[in-house]
Structure 1
C-alpha cells in the first residue's frame, strides 16, 4: 500500500500559502520568546496583553455615545466651525 499523504505532500515543503496565519503565529511566538528572554519572567507576554486590554478599555469607555442620533447630525457636530 502507499504512504498516506501528510501536510507536506499536499502543499509541498516550505509552502507558506498553505496556512495564511503562519507568519502571524511565528511573529507572536518570536515576540513572546523575546519578552521572556528580556525580562526573565515567563508571565511577561500575559502582562503585555493585560496592559493592552486596559488601554483598550479606557479608550472604549472614553468614546462618545452616538446611538439614537441621526448620522447627519453626528457629521455636523464633528465639522470645525
Structure 2
C-alpha cells in the first residue's frame, strides 16, 4: 500500500502531518472486560468542566477544518 497527499494539499497545508497505524489481531467483537465504568467516569469528569467544544483536541480539529475552508460544526 502506498499513501501520499496531493501536491495541492501539501501546498495549502504545509503543517499537515500524516500518520499510519497498522494493527493485527484487532477484532470487532465487544469485550466485557473493558473498564467501561472507569472510562465513563473520566468522560463525566471532563464534561463537568464544560462542553466538548472546550477540549484542546476538539479545538485543534476545528482549526484544521477552518484552515481547509470547511465549517467545523458541519462535520461532526
Structure with the largest fraction of helix: 1
Q: Which one has the largest radius of gyration?
A: 1
- Measured against the shorter chain, the TM-score band is under 0.3
Q: TM-score, normalization: structure 1? A: 0.25
Scaled by the length of structure 2, what TM-score is found? Answer: 0.27
